[in-house]
């Protein structure tokens, strides 16, 4: 009898738990393409903390990386994205390293981005005339 009760509870809760609807994309959404500078800092050539996002590439503090895929997860505050990046290693027998970048819109034209949820930092879009040099 207890087994039947447990199975009934699991069957009732399983659809709600699986309701996250993660969608996998092959590239970064176009709305996020461009150069993003953290905080209120400048967007000039000396901005080494800036990140550049395009459909299939990331350039920033983690290096110059190719986008493997992007996972989109709905949240209460809008979509949350997690990009899996393949970054070249250093040295003669270097293996590619995998880096994750989490990003989401902050609702005011900026984004929050970082390698972990705890490491998300506010970024603002740089104007096209003040792009930092690509690595």
In a domain, 119, yes or no: yes
Q: What is the pTM of this model?
A: 0.75
pLDDT in tens, 72-124: 999 888 899 999 999 987 766 678 889 999 999 988 889 999 999 898 999 99
Residue 12: which H helix or E strand, with range? helix 2-17
3-class SS of residue 33: coil
In a domain, 42, yes or no: yes
- Looking at per-residue pLDDT, the higher value among 18 and 115 belongs to 115
Q: Which residues, in sequence order, are bridge partners of residue 2?
A: none
* Model pLDDT, residue 132: 46
Q: Judge contact between 123 and 32, C-beta under 8 A.
A: no
What are the CA-CA distances from residue 34 to residues 55, 87, 97, 132 (Å)? 10, 19, 23, 11
In a domain, 13, yes or no: no
Q: What is the DSSP string of 4-59?
A: HHHHHHHHHHHHHHTTT--EEESS--GGG-EEEEETT---STT-TT-EEE-SSEEE
Number of domains within the chain: 1
Would you give the distance in Å from CA 84 to the centre of its chain?
Answer: 8
In a domain, 79, yes or no: yes
In a domain, 14, yes or no: no
Residue given tokens 């293996």 in the structure block: 95
- Looking at per-residue pLDDT, the higher value among 129 and 40 belongs to 40
In a domain, 35, yes or no: yes
In a domain, 69, yes or no: yes
The boundaries of the domain holding residue 63 are 20-130
In a domain, 9, yes or no: no
Two structure tokens written together for 2: 């207890």
């Amino acid at each position: 009898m207890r087994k039947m009760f447990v199975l009934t509870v699991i069957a009732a809760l399983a659809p709600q738990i699986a309701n996250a609807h993660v969608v996998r994309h092959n590239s970064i959404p176009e709305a996020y393409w461009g150069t993003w500078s953290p905080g209120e800092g400048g967007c000039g050539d000396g901005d080494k903390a800036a990140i550049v996002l395009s459909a299939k590439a990331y350039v920033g503090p983690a290096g110059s990386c190719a986008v493997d895929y992007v996972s989109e997860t709905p949240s209460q505050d809008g979509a949350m994205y997690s990009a899996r990046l393949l970054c070249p290693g250093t040295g003669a027998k270097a293996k590619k390293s995998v880096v994750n970048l989490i990003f989401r819109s902050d609702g005011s034209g900026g984004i929050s981005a970082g390698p972990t949820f705890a490491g998300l930092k506010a970024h603002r879009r740089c104007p096209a005339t003040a792009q930092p040099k690509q690595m």
